[in-house]
Amino acid sequence: MKLSLTKAQMLERRRIADGLEPLRTDCAIEFTDGIDIDRMLEHDLRARYVDMLANADPRYLAVECIEPVGLAEMKPDGVRLSLPPTCRRVFDIELDTWYRPVAVQPLSMYNAIVSWQYNEYRAATPLNPVAVLSPDGDILAWPEGKLVALHGISDPGEDTYVLDESGLPLLLNN
Q: Tell me the per-residue pLDDT of 35-44, one tens digit each, with 9 for 90 and over.
A: 778 888 899 9
Task: Please tell me the distance from the alpha carbon of residue 24 to that of residue 158, in angstroms, as a whole number.
Answer: 31
Task: Please tell me the distance from the alpha carbon of residue 69 to that of residue 170, in angstroms, as a whole number.
Answer: 31
Strand bridging mode 87-95 / 78-82: unpaired
Among candidate residues 118, 112, 111, 108, the one with its CA nearest the CA of residue 78: 118
Q: Tell me the per-residue pLDDT of 66-85, one tens digit each, with 9 for 90 and over.
A: 998 887 777 778 899 999 99
DSSP string of 4-39?
EEEHHHHHHHHHHHTT-S-S--S-----SSS--HHH
Per-residue confidence (pLDDT) for residue 24, from 0 to 100: 64
Per-residue confidence (pLDDT) for residue 140, from 0 to 100: 94
How many Cα atoms within 13 Å fall on the side-chain side of residue 167? 26
Question: For 13-146, where are the E strands, in sequence order?
Answer: 64-65, 70-74, 78-82, 87-95, 102-105, 130-133, 139-142
Per-residue confidence (pLDDT) for residue 106, from 0 to 100: 94
The series of mean pLDDT values per 10 residues for the chain, 174 residues long, is 88 84 69 77 92 92 90 80 92 94 95 93 94 94 93 92 89 80
